[in-house]
Amino acid sequence: MSNSNGVRSILMVGVGGQGIIRASDILSAVLMKSGFDVKKSEVHGMAQRGGCVSSHVRYGKKVYSPLTRKGDVDVMLSFEKLETLRYLDYMRSSGVIIINEEEIYPPSVNLGEAPYPHNIEEIIRKYFNDIHFLNATKLALKEGDRRIANTIMLGALSPYLDIELDTWEDVFRTDFPPNVAEKNFSVFKMVRNQFSENKNLIMQ
Amino acid sequence: MKVFMSGNEAIARGAYECGVTFASGYPGTPSTEVIEEFSKYDGVYAEWSPNEKVAMEVGIGAALAGARALVVMKHVGVNVAADPLFTVSYTGTNGGLVIMTADDPSMHSSQNEQDNRNYARFAKIPMLEPSDSQEAKDYIGLAFDISEAFDTPVFLRTTTRVSHSKSIVKLGEPAPREDRTEIRYNPDKYVMVPAKARARRVEVEKRMIRLKEYAETFSENRIEMNDPDTGIITAGMTYNYAKDIYPDYSYLKLGMVYPLPAELIKEFASKVKKLFVIEELDPFLEEQIRSLGIEVTGKIIFPYTNEFDPGIIEAAMAGSSSESRQFSLPPIPARPPNLCPGCPHRGLFYVLGKFDCFVTGDIGCYTLSFMKPLEGLDSCVCMGASIGMAHGMSKALKEKGKGRVVAVIGDSTFIHSGITSLLNLAYNKSHAVVIICDNRTTAMTGMQEHPATGYTLQGDIAAQLDLVELGKTLGIRNVHVVDPFDMKTTRKIIKEELSTEGPSLIISQGPCVLLKKERKRKKKPLMIDTEKCTGCKLCLGLGCPPIAWKRFEDMKDITIPKKRKNQEGIAVIDTALCNGCNLCLQLCKAGAIMEVSGNE
């Protein structure tokens, strides 16, 4: 994959309250620790109140803009199925899309005034080859804590970044209290291993 | 040491490093975190003032006493603070005085998109504009140096993208604290009666000439010569967007956006063939550069509205709309922000939405209730506007307005700028009903203390304003307190007050669900008995996030008995999201809503 300035862009999207900002902070810390210049920016109105959230993380030798232009995102980490569609035009055609299968209904769907599109996977497959689904929310509930879903998403992303497992571990251990760090890192490793098979690294 | 910081965190850090010991402000996105972060450093004083005008006056006082004072607000906050602002430009300061204004292009969380660079020219105050977190930290120190060297207040302007994006910052050592405060008398400088102000007015113009000279050699106004075919003059975040797309062009990057370095601009213009000015919002730089007789391309190709990004700049420069891929997608339902599950505003606005009234609204979470399905609010202009507007509307409508005009305002907003308007209601005999949505915090900006919470920013116990007593003292005879989670009583009291002569004050008291204390409270979530739900959709009228509509045809695996002939589905509650506020239970006529039993 190429980018004119050698800068990579990761876009995390979803709904306020899903832990996207926390996840993008962890990712940024990992990238910074690996020696990259990093910039990060969220686009949200009042995120805590159920609106859309998107977080741009950009890294490379020297990063200027914290926002990615449309068509330039290398990996999209989508925390909610429908939100994937909202940001498709940010993806480069060869980009990777990782999607959490959770569906969170917008107010108009809850009120029965608009349908929640049911063929999201089919639509995305028309335009992109490298797409992957997982149910991070279900897996997190199975692990006993809904809040761990964002760590699971990072685990699915990590095989696409050439970053040492130790660096991830360091960041988990500095960013969380000890027992929470342990749990998060072990779940992270498990998902990372699952996703490591048959994946091409995007960052050499 | 290198740290990953937002622009706002970096400004707080920079202020601490350069010896600032005093900060005041009023919360407002995207500026809020500066005061919050600064207040955590050792040996500093920081306060939430009731509004930006007070914060500005507090800062002026501290600076006159010799302290380095930082005053922080969002762009529209400067409108509130404009009165003292224009005159402190005349008086100058003792200790440095820096005013941070955080502008919000694209109005991510604001009611307008004003470009506060215009205030710099209007009030004759120099303005610096950083482009990332490192510059944000560095510029705050430079701003204080300029303030003290030129005896002037200085603006530091950010935009949402600078304040809220994060980048790598190199931390420095904090300067040693020295107490330079003392009482200094100087009536020629500080008593702005006409005779004295006329003399200071002349000093302001002299200062502007000296500042213009300083701008020519100011280290943060810098030329980056590269390809001489294309030159770009820019400042702030747009510099980064342009560099992202065009790293090989030549740049004049302005760290000081007012006053401008005329000679430096002429020099840069003479070195490049084609010159562009890239700036969000107003053609502030462009018009001043044109007035130097320099031909530039600016707003003829770049938009006036909304924040930029690299794609917008690229499309404008290329003279075509962005060539992003086209996808054929189904309609994507919007996802507007909503009141939280368990929010105390929901019950009040459900009730208000059913009255045939015009509800003048204000700035706060409750503004969200204008949307479907609550539709409980009909206007929103600025902080504090609701009460004055309701009074004006009620007076103009005369008999037609009786019992049909209600003002709603949050507790923090009421303290910010609603108190004088409420006094006016009593004084000028209004018939409007005022409702204070008292959720015990400044919720929209993230839970800040205010004079009615009983605590200060830095955690001290404070005098607690009593809203009921205040209302009575201002001359309002009918004052009531209601619990918005009890919709029946709330409806009854509003109805009574609408039919009563004279102004009324209703305080709707329910704590914000995001308050720490409320988060810890044990929740008793509700569920819907699918056997009993008649699909009447009454509960959906609350617009509560956990309540959703499920159509029978989408539930192929489950069979649920129809209770009515035309029933099309049932309502369901996502118990994981439910806060157990019981509003839906009060509405349900079928008795289908109940507490989730303990073992589930």
DSSP chain A: ---TTS-EEEEEEEETTSSHHHHHHHHHHHHHHTT-EEEEEEE-SSGGGT-EEEEEEEEESS---SSPPTT-EEEEEESSHHHHHHTGGGEEEEEEEEEE------HHHHTTSSPPPS-HHHHHHHH-S-EEEE-HHHHHHHTT-GGGHHHHHHHHHGGGS---HHHHHHHHHHHS-HHHHHHHHHHHHHHHHHHHTT---S--
Domain membership of residue B330 (yes or no) is no
Report the residue of chain A nearest B161, measured CA to CA. Answer: A41
Report the residue of chain A nearest B337, measured CA to CA. Answer: A51
The answer on B169 and B24 residing in a single domain is: yes
Q: Could B165 and A66 be called an inter-chain contact, meaning their C-beta atoms sit closer than 8 Å?
A: yes
Is the pLDDT at B110 greater than 70? The verdict is yes
Write the burial class of residue B230 (CB in 10 Å: 0-12 exposed, 13-18 middle, 19+ buried): middle
Q: How confident is the model at residue A2 (pLDDT cuts 50, 70, 90)?
A: very low
Is residue B108 within 8 angstroms of chain A, CB to CB? yes
Domain membership of residue B294 (yes or no) is yes
The answer on B504 and B540 residing in a single domain is: no
Distance in angstroms (rounded) separating the CA atoms of residues A181 and A172: 6
The answer on B284 and B416 residing in a single domain is: no
Is the pLDDT at B598 greater than 90? The verdict is no
Q: What are phi and psi of B353, to 5 degrees?
A: -60, -20
Distance in angstroms (rounded) separating the CA atoms of residues B275 and B285: 13
Q: How far is CA B540 from CA B13, B351, B374, B572, in A?
A: 47, 14, 10, 10
The answer on B19 and B138 residing in a single domain is: yes
Residue carrying structure tokens 């819907």? B528
Is the pLDDT at A48 greater than 70? The verdict is no
Q: How far is CA A159 from CA A101, A165, A184, in A?
A: 19, 10, 17
Domain membership of residue B118 (yes or no) is yes
Domain membership of residue B328 (yes or no) is no
- DSSP letter at B379 equals B
The answer on B158 and B251 residing in a single domain is: no
Q: What residue type is B474 in one-letter code?
A: L
Q: How confident is the model at residue B600 (pLDDT cuts 50, 70, 90)?
A: very low
Q: What are phi and psi of B178, to 5 degrees?
A: -130, 135
The answer on B268 and B250 residing in a single domain is: yes
* Chain A nearest C-alpha distance from B94 (Å): 38
Share of chain A above pLDDT 70, in %: 92
Distance in angstroms (rounded) separating the CA atoms of residues A54 and B525: 30
DSSP, collapsed to helix, strand or coil, labels residue B340 as coil
The answer on B472 and B562 residing in a single domain is: no
Q: What is the rounded average pLDDT of the residues B522-531?
A: 93
- Which one of A65, A109, A112 has the shortest CB-CB distance to B240? A65
Q: What is the rounded average pLDDT of the residues B57-73?
A: 98
Domain membership of residue B92 (yes or no) is yes
Q: How confident is the model at residue A72 (pLDDT cuts 50, 70, 90)?
A: very high
pLDDT digits (tens, 9 = 90+) for B147-178: 999 999 999 999 999 999 999 999 999 998 88
pLDDT digits (tens, 9 = 90+) for B470-508: 999 999 999 999 999 999 999 999 999 999 998 999 999
Terminal alpha carbon distance of chain B: 50
Kindly report the CATH number assigned to the domain that includes residue B537.
Answer: 3.30.70.20
Tally of domains in chain B: 4
Domains and CATH numbers, chain A: 8-105+115-196 (3.40.920.10)
- Which one of A7, A42, A106 has the shortest CB-CB distance to B333? A106
- Between residues B304 and B324, which one has the greater pLDDT? B304
Q: What is the rounded average pLDDT of the residues A6-35?
A: 95
Q: Could A71 and B324 be called an inter-chain contact, meaning their C-beta atoms sit closer than 8 Å?
A: yes
Do B68 and B19 contact (CB within 8 A), yes or no?
yes
Distance in angstroms (rounded) separating the CA atoms of residues B254 and B233: 7
The answer on B62 and B150 residing in a single domain is: yes
Which residues on A lie below 8 Å from B547 (Cβ)? 110
What sign does the dihedral B286-B287-B293-B296 (CA atoms) show?
positive
The answer on B79 and B169 residing in a single domain is: yes
Q: Which residues contact B236 (CB under 8 A, 6 or more apart)?
A: B129, B130, B131, B157, B158, B159, B162, B257, B279, B280
Which chain A residues in 3-62 lie under 8 Å from chain B, judged by CB atoms? 5, 7, 15-16, 25, 28-29, 32, 37-52
Distance in angstroms (rounded) separating the CA atoms of residues B18 and B137: 10
| Res B418: pLDDT | 98
Of B493, B519, B545, the domain-final residue: B519
Domain membership of residue B324 (yes or no) is no
| Res A1: pLDDT | 38
Do B538 and B589 contact (CB within 8 A), yes or no?
yes
Kindly report the CATH number assigned to the domain that includes residue B464.
Answer: 3.40.50.970
Q: Which ipTM score applies to this complex?
A: 0.94
Annotate B161-185 with DSSP letters as a single string.
HHHH-EEEEE--PPPPP--------
Domain membership of residue B332 (yes or no) is no
Mean per-residue pLDDT over chain B, rounded: 96
Cis upstream peptide for B30 (omega within 30°)? yes
- Which one of A25, A38, A45 has the shortest CB-CB distance to B108? A45
- Which one of A7, A63, A85 has the shortest CB-CB distance to B329? A85
Q: What is the rounded average pLDDT of the residues B113-119?
A: 98
Is residue A116 within 8 angstroms of chain B, CB to CB? yes
Q: What is the rounded average pLDDT of the residues B286-295?
A: 98
Q: What is the rounded average pLDDT of the residues B113-135?
A: 98
Distance in angstroms (rounded) separating the CA atoms of residues A158 and A162: 8
Annotate B113-147 with DSSP letters as a single string.
---THHHHHHHT--EE--SSHHHHHHHHHHHHHHH
**Residue among B419, B308, B406, B321 nearest B366 (CA):** B406
Share of chain B above pLDDT 70, in %: 99
Q: What residue type is B306 in one-letter code?
A: N
Which chain B residues in 114-173 lie under 8 Å from chain A, judged by CB atoms? 132, 161, 164-168
Of B201, B217, B233, the domain-final residue: B217
Q: Could A32 and B4 be called an inter-chain contact, meaning their C-beta atoms sit closer than 8 Å?
A: yes
Best residue of B166, B249, B366 to probe chain A, by most A CBs closer than 10 Å = B166
pLDDT digits (tens, 9 = 90+) for A102-154: 999 998 998 889 999 989 999 999 999 999 999 999 999 999 998 999 999 99
Domain residue limits at B149? 2-217
Q: How confident is the model at residue A49 (pLDDT cuts 50, 70, 90)?
A: low
Is residue B310 within 8 angstroms of chain A, CB to CB? yes
- Length of chain B, in residues: 600
Q: Could B241 and A64 be called an inter-chain contact, meaning their C-beta atoms sit closer than 8 Å?
A: yes
Report the residue of chain B nearest A38, measured CA to CA. Answer: B167
Which chain A residues in 53-72 lie under 8 Å from chain B, judged by CB atoms? 63-71
Q: Could B549 and A108 be called an inter-chain contact, meaning their C-beta atoms sit closer than 8 Å?
A: no
Report the residue of chain B nearest A118, measured CA to CA. Answer: B330
* Chain A nearest C-alpha distance from B579 (Å): 14
How many helices and strands in chain B, by DSSP H and E?
A: 21, 22
Is residue A122 within 8 angstroms of chain B, CB to CB? no
The answer on B531 and B512 residing in a single domain is: no
**Residue among B128, B98, B133, B166 nearest B10 (CA):** B133
Which residues on B lie below 8 Å from A106 (Cβ)? 333-336
Which residues on A lie below 8 Å from B247 (Cβ)? 5, 64
Distance in angstroms (rounded) separating the CA atoms of residues B337 and A44: 10
Q: How many CB atoms lie within 10 A of CB B362?
A: 28
The answer on B294 and B194 residing in a single domain is: no
- Which one of A37, A69, A105 has the shortest CB-CB distance to B311? A69
pLDDT digits (tens, 9 = 90+) for B183-205: 999 999 999 999 999 999 999 99
What sign does the dihedral B466-B469-B472-B474 (CA atoms) show?
negative
Is residue B324 within 8 angstroms of chain A, CB to CB? yes
The answer on B281 and B206 residing in a single domain is: no
Q: How confident is the model at residue A4 (pLDDT cuts 50, 70, 90)?
A: low
Of B494, B519, B544, the domain-final residue: B519
Report the residue of chain A nearest B551, measured CA to CA. Answer: A112
Q: What is the rounded average pLDDT of the residues B130-145?
A: 98
Q: Could A65 and B309 be called an inter-chain contact, meaning their C-beta atoms sit closer than 8 Å?
A: yes
Cis upstream peptide for B525 (omega within 30°)? no
Cis upstream peptide for B259 (omega within 30°)? yes
Is the pLDDT at B324 greater than 70? The verdict is no
| Res A203: pLDDT | 39
| Res A199: pLDDT | 58
Share of chain B above pLDDT 90, in %: 92
Which residues on B lie below 8 Å from A82 (Cβ)? 332-333
pLDDT digits (tens, 9 = 90+) for B346-358: 999 999 999 999 9
Domain membership of residue B542 (yes or no) is yes
Q: How confident is the model at residue B305 (pLDDT cuts 50, 70, 90)?
A: very high
Q: Which two tokens stand for residue B165?
A: 């994006």
Q: How far is CA B159 from CA A39, B100, B256, B364, B556, in A?
A: 16, 11, 15, 21, 51
